[in-house]
Amino acid sequence: MSSFASIKFIKEYEKVVFYSVVVNGEENEESLFETFIKKYTTSEPAKLNHILAWIRLIGNRYGAKASYFRHEMAAEGLPPRGIDREPTYIEEDQNTSNNLRLYCHRLNDCVVILYGGAIKTADKAQDCPQVKGHFNLANILSRLIDQSFADDDIEWSDDYQDILYNEDFKINY
């Protein structure tokens, strides 16, 4: 049985517009990103807030420059690499690496599609039972979204600061 995803607007900041995808549902249903937030709001609030702080900074101050994302094959991930990058993640009164991963697709410096993620417990996402499924889905969806641009199912706005698509557009996978 095939699955499908629809694009859902999440939030527009000064420099970046964020979207997510709803899998096998309608745009008004919960997206992968909203499910991620709901899950980690109670179980890992400090780690989630660190990622959300990065989203706000990227959205309002920096733009979605490649250097603020982890390269994850066809997809990207947050938070960026480096424990000393502001905002830092503090655990037990010291800077440390945040192992909560949010997978996404950086389309350009102005548009990002946010997926889901989990706590990474292995060196490679493909070897981690918690993030492997999120990593694989993010890469599948990112490749299909890129193909949707090539097929003109998704287009750039005139200024390349947003995307345009029909409200009934679905990504089949």
CA distance 150 to 154: 8
Reported as a single tens digit per residue, the pLDDT across 115-152 is 999 999 999 999 999 999 999 999 999 999 999 999 99
Q: What is the pLDDT of residues 47-74, one digit of tens each?
A: 999 999 999 999 999 999 999 999 999 9
Cα 98 from Cα 51, distance rounded (Å)? 9
Here the tokens at position 74 are: 């066809």
Using alpha carbons, select from 35, 55, 54, 31 the residue that is nearest to residue 43: 35
CA distance 105 to 19: 10
Note whether 98 and 50 are within 8 A (CB).
Answer: yes
Q: How big is the CA angle at 29 (ends 131 and 102), to the nearest 5 degrees?
A: 25
Indicate yes or no: pTM above 0.75: yes
